[in-house]
Amino acid sequence: VTIYDVADHAGVAISTVSRVLNESPDVSEPTRKRVEQAIAELKYHPNRTARSLAQQEYRSFAVALPSFTAPFQNELLKGVRSLLREIDHDLLVCDLGSTNQMESLRRFLDRGAVSGLLVCGIELTDELAEELSGARSPAVLVGHSHPGFDSWTWDEAQGAQDAVAHLIQEGHKEIMMITSSVDTPLQSERIAGYQRAMNAAGLSETDQRLVSGTIDYHSGYSEEDGYDAMIQILDNHSACTAVFCCSDVHAVGALKALRERNVSVPDGMALVGYDDVKTSRFIGLSSVDQSAQKIGYAAAKRLHERIKGPLDMAVEHHVIAPSLQVRSSSKSS
């Protein structure tokens, strides 16, 4: 049942049907009624695809991220969703599974047109960045920056340092860190933050205090990884009283391990997971801080503005954990 059927049924031309669909004022009341009735009787629903094609407007954002079930990503999506609801757009989720995320993203791009793209938690290679610039829809970055792109980032090292300082302040001395089984620049920064906090308090931060899982999955940022690492800690480091996880995903896995071994949190073992922005959050405490949500909203909004009118300056927003003060620095695109 297409627009033609409706037109026939109402005894008008398709353009007239189109007009009532798009709430044009140039339709007389009687014909509008007739058309609306025809639509109802035929249970007609316009074809979103055809409409997109005709007016070159896709009314949908794609969000590319690794595993949308991580707490942080989840909150981020909430924020994005809020904006999308305001502007009546759809949400296309592209989670770039475990293995080669770049390839997944590229394949997704090949799939075609959306209004805009939000790239979260993925470091852009120069090559991929060029592809994105060439794409017909603009992109906004979250968690990484790249010249020429709008982005939202935060101070990874400082965030990690704050988290560990929090544990220290609570009286812990034997603090270990669960790292990812895969080396990434992101992780290096978080480790650096951990070390700074430990050093500042005069505590040991030898390599033996860094434990990573052995399972390589989701680029090393997986629950399995965290689970695995926590088991190691429980088996080999009985003195440890607190653990800082280099990601919230790890913390979820670590919690699972603690459960299995009947270790309570935080009394038996204090646990802090880095959730990318507000670090001093205990996993299991509550839904994550709203920072992530705000970032999601802001990034989506920026994307929308870029789609509407071509802004020619890419802005890098640097978010300072944990209170979400924003320090913007513009760069020429």
Site string for a copy of itself, 133-152 (x = CB under 8 A): -xxx----------------
Residue 200 is a binding residue for a copy of itself (CB under 8 A): no
Residue 171 is a binding residue for a copy of itself (CB under 8 A): no
Site string for a copy of itself, 213-242 (x = CB under 8 A): ----------x-------------------
Q: Looking at 68, 174, 280, 331, which residue binds a copy of itself (CB under 8 A)?
A: 68
Residue 81 is a binding residue for a copy of itself (CB under 8 A): yes
Which option in a copy of itself, DNA, none does residue 14 bind, with CB closer than 5 to 8 A by kind? DNA
Name the residue with tokens 């407007």: 57
Q: Looking at 51, 59, 144, 331, which residue binds DNA (CB under 7 A)?
A: 51
265 token code pair = 């949190």
Single out the residue of 103, 87, 106 nearest to residue 306, CA to CA. 87
Q: Which residues contact 137 (CB under 8 A, 6 or more apart)?
A: 58, 113, 114, 115, 116, 117, 307
Residue 267 is a binding residue for a copy of itself (CB under 8 A): yes
Please state, in angstroms and rounded to a whole number, the distance separating the CA atoms of residues 153 and 24.
Answer: 43
* Segment near DNA (CB under 7 A); pick from 1-9, 186-194, 244-252, 297-305: 1-9
Q: Closest CB to a copy of itself among 112 and 185?
A: 112
Instruction: State the minimum distance, in angstroms, from the CB of residue 8 to a copy of itself.
Output: 18
Q: Looking at 11, 97, 268, 284, which residue binds DNA (CB under 7 A)?
A: 11
3-state secondary structure of 119: strand
Residue 23 is a binding residue for DNA (CB under 7 A): no
Instruction: Assess contact for 67 and 282: CB atoms under 8 A.
Output: no
Instruction: Assess contact for 128 and 162: CB atoms under 8 A.
Output: no
Residue 5 is a binding residue for a copy of itself (CB under 8 A): no
Q: Closest CB to a copy of itself among 13 and 93?
A: 93
Residue 102 is a binding residue for a copy of itself (CB under 8 A): no
Please state, in angstroms and rounded to a whole number, the distance separating the CA atoms of residues 35 and 211.
Answer: 68
Please state, in angstroms and rounded to a whole number, the distance separating the CA atoms of residues 66 and 119.
Answer: 10
Residue 9 is a binding residue for DNA (CB under 7 A): no
Please state, in angstroms and rounded to a whole number, the distance separating the CA atoms of residues 13 and 91.
Answer: 33
Site for a copy of itself in 238-257 (CB under 8 A): 252-253, 255-256
328 token code pair = 């913007």
Which option in DNA, a copy of itself, none does residue 61 bind, with CB closer than 5 to 8 A by kind? none
Instruction: State the minimum distance, in angstroms, from the CB of residue 114 to DNA.
Output: 14
Q: Crossing angle for the helix pair 101-111 and 126-134, nearest 10 degrees?
A: 10
Q: Closest CB to DNA among 14 and 315?
A: 14
User: What is the amino acid identity at position 228?
Assistant: D
Dihedral in degrees, nearest 10, Cα atoms 25, 31, 34, 40? -20
Q: What is the number of other CB atoms lying within 10 angstroms of the CB of residue 233?
A: 20
Q: Looking at 33, 37, 40, 54, which residue binds DNA (CB under 7 A)?
A: 54
3-state secondary structure of 315: strand
Please state, in angstroms and rounded to a whole number, the distance separating the CA atoms of residues 198 and 212.
Answer: 18
Instruction: Assess contact for 7 and 17: CB atoms under 8 A.
Output: yes
Contact set with DNA (CB under 7 A): 2-4, 11-16, 18-19, 21-22, 26-28, 30-32, 44, 46-47, 50-51, 53-56
Contact set with a copy of itself (CB under 8 A): 1, 43, 45-53, 58-60, 68-69, 74-75, 77-78, 81, 85, 90-95, 97, 109-113, 131, 134-136, 223, 252-253, 255-256, 259, 264-267, 282-287
